[in-house]
Amino acid sequence: MKSAKIGMDPVRVGSPKEELYFCSVDLAGVLELSDSEVAKLARSAVLVRQRDPRDSRAFVYPVWENVRRYIAHTRARKETAHVAFLEEKSRTQRTVRLRAELEMAQARGRLVDRQELFSRLAKALGAFKRAFLSRASRLEQKLGQVADRSQRLAVIQADDTDCLGLLDELLKAPPGENGSNPGQAASAQAQTR
């Protein structure tokens, strides 16, 4: 053999089925850790150890099993970190997407001031409410002039259509159009009927 000529021990081929036991210092060298890190991993049940049969105060570590356990532990930490990274990236991308959608909506003029919207709706619905509540007196006058049932139904349907048309106009008209308030315009329109 060539290795015998150089003075080296011949290579011994083994099998992972035959478990080897190392002390903490030797296992630390294999795993490239300090022996205190090996002890910490053993206390946290990542690595397994047994009492040394030669010294009751020392431990020995099965090499193959602990190499597998340490690799699994390292992979699990990396996978956990990767999952956390992906979750954070997803949140960041969602925030960026929502911000971009908001900016595009502002550029298109689709966003409105919430207070202004509620104020305008309140005025429009208030005007519609006043017009709708004054409906009984208007209908009483008009229905008193009509004798036929079908004509009475036509008068009621026409007034319903006028009320809905008023609501439609109030919701379409911008506030203060022609220098007037939508509530005043609705009141004036309701009084003319």
**Same domain, yes or no: 126 and 66:** no
The per-residue pLDDT string of the chain (193 residues; one tens digit each, 9 = 90 and over) reads 444 455 666 766 666 677 788 888 888 888 888 888 888 888 888 888 888 888 888 888 888 888 888 888 888 888 888 888 889 999 999 999 989 988 888 788 777 777 888 888 888 888 888 888 888 887 888 888 888 888 888 888 888 888 888 878 877 756 554 444 444 444 444 444 4
Report if residue 148 sits inside a domain: yes
Report if residue 65 sits inside a domain: yes
Question: What is the value of pTM for the model shown?
Answer: 0.39
Task: Please give the tally of structural domains in the chain.
Answer: 2
Report if residue 11 sits inside a domain: no
In which domain, by residue range, is 125 found? 114-192
Residues with Cβ < 8 Å from 1, sequence gap 6 or more?
10
Instruction: Give the ranges where 44-181 is alpha helix by DSSP (H).
Output: 63-108, 114-133, 135-144, 149-172
**Same domain, yes or no: 132 and 188:** yes
Report if residue 121 sits inside a domain: yes
**Same domain, yes or no: 185 and 128:** yes
